A and B are shown apart, each in its own frame.
Chain A
Amino acid sequence: MSELKQKLKEQIIEQLNLVEVKPSDIQDNQPLFGSELGLDSIDALEFIVLLDSKYGLKIDDPAKGKEIFNSINSLAAFIEANQK
């Protein structure tokens, strides 16, 4: 699980071009939106692309993404629970 979380942080930084952010700057339980990361609605859609391309998980309704993308913890839990 902690390996997955580390990997997620790296992938998020790459996918969202967070050039000045290091993986260690993102706390596992930190809210990803509305925090100093400065993520917006387009970034939320990029999360959907990331889950699809890297983990083969599809989200059809962006509204459902809200809870999943809340934090690294919730993202990792979603991937663990749904990946075959």
Chain B
Amino acid sequence: MIRTVAIQKKGIFVDGKIKFFPSQSEQFLNDYYLMLEINYPKFYKMDPLAKLGILAQEAMVKDHNPFDGIEDDSLSLIFSNRSSSFDSDEKFMYSYSTLKSPSPSLFVYTLPNIMMGELCIKNKWYGENTFFIRPKIDFSFLLEQAKIQFEKGAKHCLCAWIEFKNNQVDCFMFYLDKGKNIENYKDFLNLQYKLATQ
């Protein structure tokens, strides 16, 4: 089974179909939270990367939940982006250089892997997590990493490209069960990504 979610300028796409349209507000991530009827108040404290991770995963499970009943350490997370935790880095710098009070709650989000941690906490997943910085979204790379995880014993993979910089969002997440020739999904994933971005 393969599932995809894209959160892009045009809205939230689930398995290639648009499901939610963005609000025009600067708080569009919070508006998505309400649209998806998520009940997890901690969401509001998260940085945009972690919010996107939660939103994408929640959008994925809305109609059919692929994570239902999986063993708690059988899912590997492989996430990537270009700009690391740019938004939180910028805000944390502002807190110490301009506001003159370095904010601990901003600082803890100045690492890109934190979003995987938030997903693990929310879902009680104890599996492997790996975060890579890449020049651009690269399905060959993510599928190669997923293949390694399957060879090593994982039964499911959740892969993502989640970039947030200057209030611009570029988020694509896919779920994959262990299977043969997963590299063949590359064209399918490219198409799904194109659908959401063009």
A-to-B contact residues, CB < 8 Å: 16-20, 38, 42-43, 45-46, 49, 52-53
What CA separation (Å) do A19 and B108 show in the bound complex? 19
B103 near A46 with CB under 8 A, answer: yes
Asked whether B179 is an interface residue with its Cβ less than 8 Å from the other chain, the reply is no
- Interface contacts (Cβ under 8 Å), in number, total 30
| Option from B30, B41, B108 in Cβ contact (under 8 Å) with A38 | B41
Give the interface size class of chain B.
10 to 19
Asked if B104 and A46 sit within 8 Å, CB to CB, the answer is yes
Whether, in the assembled complex, B44 has its beta carbon less than 8 Å from a beta carbon of chain A, the answer is yes
Contacts A19-B30, A42-B108 given; indicate if A49 touches B101 (C-beta within 8 A). yes
Q: Is B42 an interface residue (CB 8 A)?
A: yes
Contact residues in B for A16 (Cβ distance below 8 Å): 45, 105
Q: List 20 A-B contacts (CB under 8 A).
A: A16-B105, A17-B44, A17-B45, A18-B44, A19-B41, A19-B44, A38-B42, A42-B104, A42-B105, A42-B108, A45-B104, A45-B105, A46-B103, A46-B104, A46-B105, A49-B102, A49-B104, A52-B101, A53-B99, A53-B100
Q: Is the CB of A43 within 8 A of B105?
A: yes
Chain B positions within 8 Å of A, measured between CB atoms, are 30, 41-42, 44-45, 99-105, 108
What's the least CB distance linking A51 to chain B, in Å? 10
A21 to B41: give the CA distance in the assembly, Å.
Answer: 9
Nearest opposing residue in chain A for B109, CB measure: A42
Q: How far is the CA of A49 from the CA of B99 in the complex (A)?
A: 11
CA distance A43 to B44 in the complex (A): 13
- A45 surroundings in chain B (CB, below 8 A): 104-105
In whole angstroms, how far apart are the Cα atoms of A17 and B46 in the complex? 9
Q: Which residues of B sit under 8 angstroms from A46, Cβ to Cβ?
A: 103-105
**For residue A42, which residues in chain B have a CB less than 8 angstroms away from its CB?**
104-105, 108
